[in-house]
Amino acid sequence: MDRLSGLDASFLYLETPAQLMHVCGLIVLDPSTMPEPYSFAAMRDGIEARVRDVPEFTRKLRRVPLGLDHPVWVQDRQFDIERHVHRLALPTPGGYAELTELSGHLAGLPLDRSRPLWEMWVIEGYHDEDGHELLAVFQKMHHATVDGVSGASLISHLCSLEPDAEPIGAAQEKKSWPHEPGRAELLGRAVVSSTTRPFTTFGLLAPTVKGVIGTIGRAREGTAMAAPLTAPRTSFNGTITGHRAIAFAEMDLDVIKEVKGATGTTVNDVVLAVAGGALRSYLEDRDELPDSSLIATVPVSVRSESQRAEGANKVSALFTRLGTDVEDPLERLEEMATSNRNAKEHHKAISADALQDWAEFAAPRTFGLAVRAYASLRLAERHPVVHNLVISNVPGPPVPLYFMGARIEALHPLGPVFHGAGLNITVMSNNGRIGVGVIACRESMPDVDDLARRFPAELERLQAAVLGGAARVGAPVRPPRSAAD
């Protein structure tokens, strides 16, 4: 049976009407590149042809009786593309404000668990700042099905390198699904799994204790990653609702690389330093800036290091300070680079599969009840703040892509928000641009667009600081490339 891993299933158990555990994305398309004139029916039929034999798009959940074990995936024998791909049109004037408002509404709707856990809306009538009419595609997929890397890989089944080329995703042989298990079989396997699971605890204790001891040693040396439960409280660190506010921005990847090269840092260091600067100015303008730095959870893919074949989610996480207590952008980048090096070394000392292994002990019924009690008692507002927000950096293709023949003009990923951390920032590179997706609980951060607009402005500020004097972080300053170069 295709059983969900404990980590995949945990995203189901964490979900409530307010804490939705799907990941989203907005793709802006230029339909003028399509080999045939755009029609919704043709696009929907094309999507169906490309996903019908991809299991992640056509499988659905089957619960285990009494919640004794994690659910299993089974084939949806009534798969119907019309239940997953929908058509909408923006109200006049059909600009950025209307698109983000509609996107926030769609992001706040739960997925139907009786069907494959994904949906897609083709949004017509969108006009960019120059008045060009474009298409937008808003997509959702449950975190139980994908993580950042696997989600990007799945989209490759719908994208190509030329308008009329075959999709990048390799053609798959049609999967031969095993027989759908009956209630008795599910119950029997669950009993066996529940009986043997406690014995695996002994194998986890030794590396966990070793990791704890190593963390204490690193903390004494000052080389540990940022500690959870030490974050300052902000207006977006509390109990969330199901309402979402969304905003988008873009940054020039070449500028980020120039800053990286001039300072001897990494792209991720620069992105996090920019995020820290944007958050600092956002909070400062509202007289909410804490004295100590905000702490972000940064998901880390362990796909290449994992020893586990099963499971869609192969991630771990590290905690890092964003330098919001530092005014100078170069000084912030320097601190970010040092902090990230320490966090990465600390993270490497922890088993790549530790989170997956411990997640196997998540009990469906108990876990769900605990999450609901946590929200109803508003405990996120009573204990120290675990972390302020989640920031994800997902690498994307460096070349132009075409979605069902339409050239992708912009690509903006969006992650989930949590009780206690009602803000998520996700960035993804594509064709020389960095797409920034910001999503927040609307009640916690109603003017989310104000934060998103600060990202390109903060990158310009950091670039100006690099060019204005000797970079203190690493390599000598190099000026950005000119158009002639």
The predicted pLDDT at position 192 comes to 59
Residue given tokens 């490309």 in the structure block: 50
Position 485 in a domain = no
The predicted pLDDT at position 481 comes to 37
Q: Is the pLDDT of residue 426 over 80?
A: yes
110 and 239 inside one domain: no
Task: Report angle CA 69, 74, 79 to the nearest 5 degrees.
Answer: 145
- The mean pLDDT value for 234-257 works out to 97
**22 tagged catalytic:** no
Q: Which of 3-17, 223-237, 470-484 has the lowest mean pLDDT?
A: 470-484
Q: Which of 23-37, 210-224, 352-366, 419-433 has the lowest mean pLDDT?
A: 210-224
More confidently predicted of 204 and 469: 469
Q: Which of 60-64, 105-109, 221-225, 453-457 has the lowest mean pLDDT?
A: 221-225
146 and 232 inside one domain: no
Supply the DSSP symbol for 308.
-
Q: Is the pLDDT of residue 202 over 70?
A: no
More confidently predicted of 198 and 325: 325
The predicted pLDDT at position 213 comes to 47
Burial string for 305-335 (b: 16+ CB within 10 Å, else e) reads ebeeeebbbbbbbbbbbbbbbbeebbebbbb
Helix axes 6-13, 364-376, angle to 10 degrees: 40
Q: Which of 175-189, 386-400, 405-419 has the lowest mean pLDDT?
A: 175-189
d(CA 23, CA 417): 10
10 and 65 inside one domain: yes
132 and 250 inside one domain: no
Under a CB-based contact definition with an 8 Å cutoff, are residues 294 and 324 in contact? yes
The full DSSP string for 334-346 is HHHHHHHHHHHHH
Closest CA to 244 of 107, 437, 119, 137: 107
The predicted pLDDT at position 480 comes to 36
- Beta strand spans in 193-305 (E): 244-252, 295-301
Please state the pTM of the whole predicted model. 0.88
Under a CB-based contact definition with an 8 Å cutoff, are residues 56 and 146 in contact? yes
Confidence of residue 218 (pLDDT cuts 50, 70, 90): low
d(CA 335, CA 397): 29
Confidence of residue 141 (pLDDT cuts 50, 70, 90): very high
Total domains in the fold of the chain: 2
Considering the chain, what percentage of its residues have pLDDT values greater than 70?
A: 81
* Residue among 70, 143, 387, 419 flagged as catalytic: 143
Residue given tokens 């307010």 in the structure block: 18
The predicted pLDDT at position 355 comes to 62
Closest CA to 70 of 25, 4, 115: 4
356 and 458 inside one domain: yes
Closest CA to 402 of 172, 164, 171: 164
Task: Give the strand pairing for 433-441 and 244-252.
Answer: antiparallel
The predicted pLDDT at position 485 comes to 37
299 and 240 inside one domain: yes
Considering the chain, what percentage of its residues have pLDDT values greater than 90?
A: 64
d(CA 65, CA 269): 47
The predicted pLDDT at position 339 comes to 87
Residue 8: give its domain's CATH number.
Answer: 3.30.559.10
Position 271 in a domain = yes
Position 399 in a domain = no
160 and 28 inside one domain: yes
Q: Is the pLDDT of residue 312 over 80?
A: no
150 and 284 inside one domain: no
Q: Mean pLDDT, the chain, as a whole number?
A: 86
The predicted pLDDT at position 346 comes to 66
Q: Is the pLDDT of residue 341 over 50?
A: yes
More confidently predicted of 15 and 366: 15
Q: What are the residue ranges of helices labelled H in 113-233?
A: 148-155, 183-221
146 and 99 inside one domain: yes
- The mean pLDDT value for 373-399 works out to 92
Residue given tokens 């996903």 in the structure block: 51
Note down the domain range covering 163.
2-170+182-186
246 and 148 inside one domain: no
Confidence of residue 478 (pLDDT cuts 50, 70, 90): very low
d(CA 56, CA 464): 45
134 and 269 inside one domain: no
251 and 309 inside one domain: yes
Confidence of residue 176 (pLDDT cuts 50, 70, 90): low
Residue 234: give its domain's CATH number.
Answer: 3.30.559
